[in-house]
Structure 1
């Protein structure tokens, strides 16, 4: 299992971008819950090389699984493995397309409805009509692009990070 180091957590903070999208996507899913082999299969098998590079550069650390001898977990590791904290908000639950969709609905209502009712209505309808994961992700990308235009790249980066935490692991390659 892999976890983020302090250096890895720092990389994911808004305004800190020294890695590419794929490396950042791997950092996002490195929560001590996803198997390393599953993460290595991402990006058409290129995940293995990316993982090794992130470990060598100090962004990720390996921890022992229950089947292996226990290894000490670095002090900065999350204490609640099923709870994710992002920008001060906690989310305890499973990753799912439905959860990600609801997040985007809520985001559209909170950010766009007070300022631009037509844009909020357009995203509400687009999310309702998105029948496939790819269509929903396309709407999410467009919404994040509009957030970046209206509120800046830091806000858009934070939303991208949150969305990546809510998406099922197998969709992360599509989202990156």
Structure 2
């Protein structure tokens, strides 16, 4: 039985452009995400690059706007740290200069409040009784959320969360 996933969707350039515009209008996308989507439509490299250029000119794709939206969402909704956000943007092939600019837009107080709230929330659900293991599990969790080691230790110490 053939399903839709079995065969690639083959579109002409004009149809692919319309679908890509609609897809980009729905949510901010990186160039790489759009490029991958266009290849899924069965387009060739030169057609894909032409459409990417067209989407940039018509402002459907804006890498800086994407990076800012990505950072904002990950900080405010997912409560991620800078390290994890930076890795996510690198996976989307956003240029380092734009990654840095977007990371610099993070509000420092909000970021520290996220770190503290994440630590307190995790502490409430940790079952470990032994203080050293409990602290290790908390720190490991905060690192996995992408927070920097020095900030983790500073926030834990300043709020007496080290035990």
TM-score by length of 1: 0.24
Structure 1 or 2: more strand by fraction? 1
Higher helix share: 2
Larger radius of gyration: 2
